[in-house]
Amino acid sequence: MIRKKIFNNTKSAFKLKSNSELDRAIFLFSMMNYSSLVKAGSALTKFSLKLHLPVETLIKKTIFEQFCGGVTEEDCKPVTNEMYDENLHSILDYSVEGKETEEEFDAAMRKKLSLIEYASKSEEISFAMFKPTGIGRFEIWEKVSEKISLSEDEKEEWKRVKDRVNTLCSKAHELNVRLYADGEETWMQTAADDLMEEMMRKYNTGDKVLIYNTLQCYRWDRLDYLKQLHEKGKKDGFKIGAKIVRGAYMEKENARAKKLGYPSPICESKEATDVNFNSTLSFCLNHLEDISVFIGTHNEVSSYLALQIMEDKGLSLEDSRIWFSQLYGMSDHISYNLARKGYNAVKLVPFGPVRDVVPYLLRRAQENTSVKGQTGRELSLLREEKKRRRGDKSTKHHRE
């Protein structure tokens, strides 16, 4: 039976944090507990950057250092090596968002190719990833998803997007690197799903699963989508890589559905999302002969469920078809304690120029405030660790 206290070990969870880093984390998560503060801070940050006010140093020393590994891959090396010493793997994510031109998309693809190569040479980097709208205009993904007929120029543009995706998947296959496509908004996601299915058919043959697609389980249709994909895979002889997460665009999705008058694609409550995520997780773990699963969650209940299923099935802790993942700077109590026990655990480590990763960082802060209880749990564990260290110090002092 999985003991329900594995994630309470704060000494292991925050082993790599200095006292000052612990204090910074406590300060940041305290701020994130107040959604009005996050909204005001986000608006102020955008405004300050627009006016070129000297706020980059402040951003770098606070939210950037909490949630990012550095400005370049080289900056991230000490972080990823230190984590790997604790059996915790990494994924490097060049988190620059909101690009629009073909030149920028080509440059982003080249960057992702270099990260695939970097992963192939670094045992601590276990996955590479890309964001579909990072290598093609949102509007073109949207038009293809909604089956709107394309002009000749747009057909050319869409071909270039498909070629970029294939170039990345082909390189990952050639270098034996796992690669996943991130999930995005529903109204562009169908085109990404179809394209990633095509890539799985092409590259996930034999026993190796290298290409993964992301399923956002706050969408009520995802379990059915996965079951259909599983049937296709069995019938046509390809394996599935499923990265499962709860999801990141809930407010935007609900607002758009309301505005345009269609049923919301999002589960009606947090509880319904939890049920959907856990059902999707169970389905993956019950079909490991066909599906490799990447469990992206900060939820302890879902993590315990996965551990329990693995134990019931007698699966090895380091079964290469099962990975657990959390974001850098968050849920260290899950990541480090899983790694310490011998499970496949990985941190998504964003990096990039401070100014360019601000949109990513603001999204992170807003997501933290919208997940009920998430920030409070982080905060209580960080404070508990601070208290434990104080106790250790006074005990040591007392002995001396």
DSSP three-state, residue 56? helix
For the chain, what is the mean pLDDT?
A: 93
Amino acid at residue number 110:
R
pLDDT at position 254, please? 95
pLDDT at position 400, please? 47
390, HSE (Cβ side, Cα atoms, 13 Å): 8
Closest alpha carbon to 87 in 335, 307, 289: 335
- The answer to whether the CB of 272 falls within 8 A of the CB of 220 is yes
The rounded distance, in Å, linking the Cα atoms of 107 and 99 is 10
Cβ within 8 Å of residue 46, ≥6 positions away: 358, 362
Question: What's the alpha-carbon Rg for the chain, to the nearest Å?
Answer: 21
- The answer to whether the CB of 99 falls within 8 A of the CB of 105 is yes
DSSP string for residues in 71-106? SSHHHHHHHHHHHHTTTEEEEEEE------SHHHHH
The rounded distance, in Å, linking the Cα atoms of 7 and 9 is 6
- The answer to whether the CB of 299 falls within 8 A of the CB of 271 is no
pLDDT at position 382, please? 95
Spans of the chain below 70 pLDDT: 1-4, 367-373, 394-400
Residue 55 has a CB neighbour count (10 Å cut-off) of: 17
DSSP 349: E
pLDDT at position 395, please? 58
Query: Exposure pattern of 8-25 as b/e (b: 16+ CB <10 Å)?
Result: ebbebbbeebeeeebebb
DSSP three-state, residue 213? strand
- The answer to whether the CB of 362 falls within 8 A of the CB of 60 is no
- The answer to whether the CB of 213 falls within 8 A of the CB of 232 is no
Query: Exposure pattern of 272-285 as b/e (b: 16+ CB <10 Å)?
Result: ebbebbbebbebbb
* Token reading at 264: 């919301």
- The answer to whether the CB of 256 falls within 8 A of the CB of 263 is no
Closest alpha carbon to 382 in 67, 88, 24, 43: 24
Domain edges within the chain: 70-356
DSSP H helices, the chain, are 10-13, 19-32, 35-50, 56-59, 65-67, 73-84, 102-121, 138-145, 152-175, 186-203, 222-236, 250-260, 270-286, 300-312, 332-341, 354-370, 374-399
pLDDT at position 394, please? 62
The rounded distance, in Å, linking the Cα atoms of 30 and 39 is 14
Q: Which fold has domain 70-356?
A: TIM Barrel (3.20.20)
* Token reading at 143: 């038009």
Cβ within 8 Å of residue 198, ≥6 positions away: none
DSSP three-state, residue 12? helix
